[in-house]
């Protein structure tokens, strides 16, 4: 179930059918308890312009200094995100996706691999300029972000 609001800083409505999508509850619980490196809605304001610093604070890694910040648009289940983060431990990585399930799965994968340089956010990539100010990003990865045009829908 993708998010449907335009502003990434608006609170996420959790009055959705959690019985239809258990990842809504998982996301809400993990974000509140900080058991997974995830964030959405008004909490994103605390990160804008301070992503690397806030990721270091989340993982309590004062000895590690993250040198750059790479964003993956459409991180899906985090397979590529986790591999990049493992290959480049001195870089911070933020996975952006529009569904609760993908954000939770990506964050769980990063935690399972013991990475301390990954964070996942529930947001629409249309608003990257609001989430990441000028000169904050050192790289952007976009492979197949949703929604993409499908051949069978061209006629519509």
Active-site residue set = 146
* Residue 122 burial (C-beta neighbours within 10 Å; 0-12, 13-18, 19+): buried
| 57 neighbors 64 (Cβ within 8 angstroms) | no
For residues 6 and 141, what is the distance between their CA atoms, to the nearest angstrom?
A: 22
| 93 neighbors 107 (Cβ within 8 angstroms) | no
CB atoms within 10 A of CB 68: 14
């Amino acid at each position: 179930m993708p998010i449907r609001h335009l502003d990434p800083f608006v609170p996420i409505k959790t009055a959705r059918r959690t019985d239809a999508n258990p990842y809504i509850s998982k996301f809400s619980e993990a974000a509140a308890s900080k058991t997974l490196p995830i964030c959405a809605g008004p909490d994103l304001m605390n990160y804008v312009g301070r992503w690397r610093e806030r990721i270091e604070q989340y993982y309590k890694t004062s000895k590690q200094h993250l040198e750059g910040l790479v964003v993956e648009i459409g991180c899906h289940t985090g397979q590529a995100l986790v591999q990049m983060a493992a290959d480049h431990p001195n870089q911070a990585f933020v996975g952006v996706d529009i569904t609760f399930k993908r954000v939770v799965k990506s964050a769980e994968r990063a935690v399972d691999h013991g990475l301390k340089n990954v964070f996942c956010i529930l947001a629409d990539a249309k608003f990257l300029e609001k989430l990441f100010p000028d000169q904050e990003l050192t790289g952007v990865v976009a492979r197949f972000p949703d929604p993409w045009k499908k051949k069978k829908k061209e006629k519509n």
